[in-house]
Amino acid sequence: GIAEAALMARIDEHAAIGATAQGGVCRIALTDADRAGRDRLVQWMRDLGLTVRIDRIGNIFGIRPGQLPDAKPVMTGSHIDTVATGGRYDGNYGVLAGLEVVRWLNERQRQTLRPFVVAAFTNEEGVRFMPDMMGSLVHAGGLALDAALDTVATDGARLGDELARIGYAGNMACGALVPHAFVELHIEQGPVLEAEGVTIGAVADLQGISWQEIVVTGQSNHAGTTPMHLRHDAGYCAAAIAVFVRELARRYGGSQVATVGAIDLHPNLINVIAARATLTVDLRNTDEATLKDAEGELADYLRQLETTEGVTIEARTLARFEPVQFDERLVRLVEASAHARGLSHRRMTSGAGHDAQMMARIAPAAMVFVPSARGISHNPKEHTASADLAQGANVLLDVVLGLLDE
Amino acid sequence: GIAEAALMARIDEHAAIGATAQGGVCRIALTDADRAGRDRLVQWMRDLGLTVRIDRIGNIFGIRPGQLPDAKPVMTGSHIDTVATGGRYDGNYGVLAGLEVVRWLNERQRQTLRPFVVAAFTNEEGVRFMPDMMGSLVHAGGLALDAALDTVATDGARLGDELARIGYAGNMACGALVPHAFVELHIEQGPVLEAEGVTIGAVADLQGISWQEIVVTGQSNHAGTTPMHLRHDAGYCAAAIAVFVRELARRYGGSQVATVGAIDLHPNLINVIAARATLTVDLRNTDEATLKDAEGELADYLRQLETTEGVTIEARTLARFEPVQFDERLVRLVEASAHARGLSHRRMTSGAGHDAQMMARIAPAAMVFVPSARGISHNPKEHTASADLAQGANVLLDVVLGLLDE
Ligand SMILES: NC(=O)NCCC(=O)O
Ligand SMILES: NC(=O)NCCC(=O)O
């Protein structure tokens, strides 16, 4: 199987790029740190004898030829960008495990019928440039390349300019590599596997994601002299929306989650009623109809707040992805590998968005999850036991080996 | 009386210093804009023949000698710093009207028994350095000079360093000038006078002010994968606190107001549950016991949130001033002047903090209010009709004239 020590050495070395004082990684898409992470990955791909291709959205593909060069490749991969408070495994793990599969093949001088491709997709996290999963979305034809290149960052930069600046505006056409199958290995980023003492998650579906930015415009005024009933307090409205979506999620139950992760008030002063609030809402559900209900209830609540608070509220969709069903045959291959290796396993849903959900639009796709300690992710404390990381890579190896020769 | 055109010319000219594109003024304490505003004021004081003294906290005093030089002076004044989204009148008006009173005396070569002093107190707004009303508070002995000089700004600067940098670290001892009486002319900054069609407010008391900074520490985690019941969401807690204080104010009624004007989340990202929230709470009431009740309820709610949300919450007092009763005799002098001039008037409460509340600790003090259009203040749209501004200055003149010769 995959050598745990070699896998961990790669993960450790790569996590040093953009390492934070808290023990995590900050390698936001298309920053200098992302460039450094990409450079290391590309060097490693070359060291393994892979042919490196970069497409016009900056996705990196390391290609190991097959005996039938015209056969569709088997592809694995994930992303190497992180959130600002990222951990060491989210994304990175799947890409570097893919390299270890290549090493395994190389060490055995193993020839395969199909080419094998390890992919690192641009801007999976969507921190600086919306939407998330951008590289795989463009690859799958779900977003036009020009629109993606024209995306403006939270810091005002244009994505195409940043891509050129860091030297990753490649010339391969987006979507040129259509895989025979896509399998993504990833940490769970949630608490389920650890809580149940299970090592391998065979991911059968993935939640729908609805991201909105809400801008509330009220009227700034003096916090001391303005009676409560005469206020048009954008800060209060932002708070009320955050409380509303929390209660909505509790009321819906099931897979429904709702998060207000970002709030910015203007002028953001202690004794001034806020004139403007900008906040984000992240709603997710495995069921499209229920997710639509949640969006509808939120929209109704915003109209109601406009009336009761005398403010104007604008909501803008930042990203919207329907729930995804993964390929049943691939999910079974994941289960079969775990079973054959004597590893505990279960079918599960992904709460997070992943590149595999975009690849599922153009090819059979599935995912393999390994446990996340205490379910923590997007946090420097993100952790997975190295034995689990190695087992996940072994399952990836098994599944890939079978697919490469079919 | 006071010449409306001359008063308005001064206000217009001074409002150009730190003018914003929205038509307001941004002259935050001890910034370069504050320095420019001070320089102009000092020049105008000199032009009027006043002796200018600067004390060690940067308060500016323009002194017109009396015939009895050892008699306590009559003092008027206010402040010339503004909030970031300030208007043209808040503070400024009272200082510049004081200069117009001097001009009136000078033009008549009027000798007075007592000296007359026009004061501009440092950092009344408390935007950058806490607490607010700092210059008058230090002057009144309510805050030690050294503590005030060591105050650290929201941007990290030390107050004493900034004062020296802008050239206003004076050498007069703080509190050296103890007035016979202090009368502050100010815009209402609230809706009462306009709503009732009254021109002059005789301010009889001033609300107690409680300012707190609350820091909530939760745990950052993935917005998609973390079930609602496993979250320690600092952003939700901040929102819940804002909604709680709003409901508390509504429930208390009367003069109670409550505002969460500032919220900062960390990491402030759409798909990351916030690990930390910093927010401010501004509570005010005319009744000290009720204000204490409100503070107590908030403290209880914070303890409850700690338990239900699994977060830690720390609250720190940024400023705390008890309600103030102004001097009954001075309030009557304000009413008498308005009456004699045929101006409508009413007794009222100040919802905002003012330098007069600090001066009331060491001398008889009172305030004169004029209407604020739609009650709007701390906002570029802050407006008072120039006729009302002139009438307020006339009332100030009447009250000061009486006091100067007693
Ligand atoms: N896996 C992951 O963190 N993706 C980012 C998009 C999301 O928030 O789900
Ligand atoms: N008058 C005024 O705006 N003072 C600032 C302190 C306060 O918030 O009341």
pLDDT one-digit tens code per residue, B22-35: 999 999 999 999 99
The gap from C-alpha A311 to its chain's centroid, in whole angstroms, comes to: 34
pLDDT score for A116: 98
Mean pLDDT of chain B: 97
Report residues of chain A scoring pLDDT below 70.
none
pLDDT score for A121: 98
B350 to chain A, any CB pair closer than 8 A? The answer is: yes
3-state secondary structure of A140: coil
* Contact indicator for A225, B190 with CB cutoff of 8 Å: yes
- Residue B68 tokens, joined: 């009895």
* Contact indicator for A364, A327 with CB cutoff of 8 Å: yes
- Residue A355 tokens, joined: 């590149």
- Residue B75 tokens, joined: 């003092």
Q: Burial letters for B5-30: b for 16+ Cβ neighbours within 10 Å, e otherwise?
A: ebbeebbeebbebbbbeeebbbbbbb
Q: Model pTM? A: 0.88
* Contact indicator for A235, A264 with CB cutoff of 8 Å: no
What percent of chain B lies above the pLDDT cut of 70? Answer: 100
CB contact under 8 A, B239 and A235: no
Strand residue runs (E) in B263-406: 263-266, 272-273, 276-285, 312-321, 324-325, 345-350, 365-370
Q: Burial letters for B331-366: b for 16+ Cβ neighbours within 10 Å, e otherwise?
A: bebbbbbbeeeebebbebbbbbbbbbbbbbebbbbb
Strand residue runs (E) in B65-108: 74-79
* pLDDT score of B287 more than 90: yes
DSSP structural state of residue B25 = B
3-state secondary structure of B290: helix
- Residue B218 tokens, joined: 């939760």
CA separation for the pair A296, A308 (Å, rounded):
19
A315 to chain B, any CB pair closer than 8 A? The answer is: no
B248 to chain A, any CB pair closer than 8 A? The answer is: no
Q: Which residues contact B288 (CB under 8 A, 6 or more apart)?
A: B208, B322, B323
- Residue B334 tokens, joined: 């304000």
* Contact indicator for B248, B297 with CB cutoff of 8 Å: yes
CA separation for the pair B255, A130 (Å, rounded):
45
3-state secondary structure of A221: strand
Helices (H) and strands (E) in chain B, counts: 12, 16
Which of B384, B395, B393, B386 is CA-nearest to residue B342? B395
CA separation for the pair A159, A353 (Å, rounded):
21
Cis before A364 (ω within 30): no
DSSP structural state of residue B85 = T
Helices (H), A151-287: 159-165, 192-196, 234-252
Let me know if A402 is exposed, middle or buried by CB neighbors in 10 A (0-12, 13-18, 19+): middle
- Residue A264 tokens, joined: 């910015």
Which of B267, B290, B294 is CA-nearest to residue B281? B294
A280 to chain B, any CB pair closer than 8 A? The answer is: yes
Which of B392, B381, B371, B383 is CA-nearest to residue B192? B371
CA separation for the pair A187, B128 (Å, rounded):
44
CA separation for the pair A401, B376 (Å, rounded):
71
Atom of ligand 2 nearest to the CA of A270: 8
* pLDDT score of B21 more than 90: yes
Residue B256 vs residues A59, B187, B248, B284: alpha-carbon distances, Å: 57, 21, 9, 6
3-state secondary structure of A266: strand
- Residue A271 tokens, joined: 């004794």
Q: Residues lining ligand 1, judged by CB closer than 6 Å?
A: A 90, 124-125, 132, 189, 352-354; B 222, 224, 271
B216 to chain A, any CB pair closer than 8 A? The answer is: no
Please report which helix (H) or strand (E) contains residue B12, including its range: helix B4-15
Helices (H) and strands (E) in chain A, counts: 12, 16
* pLDDT score of B367 more than 90: yes
Residue B42 vs residues A39, B62, B168, B396: alpha-carbon distances, Å: 60, 8, 11, 21
A149: closest CA of chain B, how far (Å): 21
pLDDT score for B127: 85
Residue B382 Cβ inside 6 Å of ligand 2? The answer reads: no
B273: closest CA of chain A, how far (Å): 5
What percent of chain B lies above the pLDDT cut of 90? Answer: 96
- Phi then psi for residue A106, to 5 deg, are -65, -45
Mean pLDDT of chain A: 97
pLDDT score for A123: 98
Question: Which residue's alpha carbon is nearest to atom 4 within ligand 1?
Answer: A353
Other beta carbons within 10 angstroms of residue B70's beta carbon come to: 7
pLDDT score for A237: 98
How large is the angle between the packed helices A386-404 and A4-15, nearest 10 degrees? 110
CA separation for the pair A374, B338 (Å, rounded):
70
* Contact indicator for A255, B226 with CB cutoff of 8 Å: no
Rg (CA), chain A: 22
pLDDT score for A69: 80
User: What's the pLDDT tens digit per position in B96-118?
Assistant: 999 999 999 999 999 999 999 99
A chain contacts of residue B269, beta-carbon cutoff 8 Å: 83-85, 127, 261-262, 378
For chain B, first and last CA: distance in Å?
Answer: 21
Please report which helix (H) or strand (E) contains residue B400, including its range: helix B386-404
CA separation for the pair B404, A375 (Å, rounded):
73
Biggest CA pair distance of chain A: 79
Residue B284 Cβ inside 6 Å of ligand 2? The answer reads: no
Residue A282 vs residues A210, A234, A247, B227: alpha-carbon distances, Å: 6, 20, 14, 13
* Pick from A219, A223, A268: CB nearest B257: A223
Residue A319 vs residues A146, A256, B68, B261: alpha-carbon distances, Å: 17, 17, 75, 29
Mean pLDDT of B126-139: 94
DSSP structural state of residue B230 = G
Q: Chain B residue with minimal CA distance to A220?
A: B379
* pLDDT score of B154 more than 90: no
Ligand located closest to A187 CA: 1
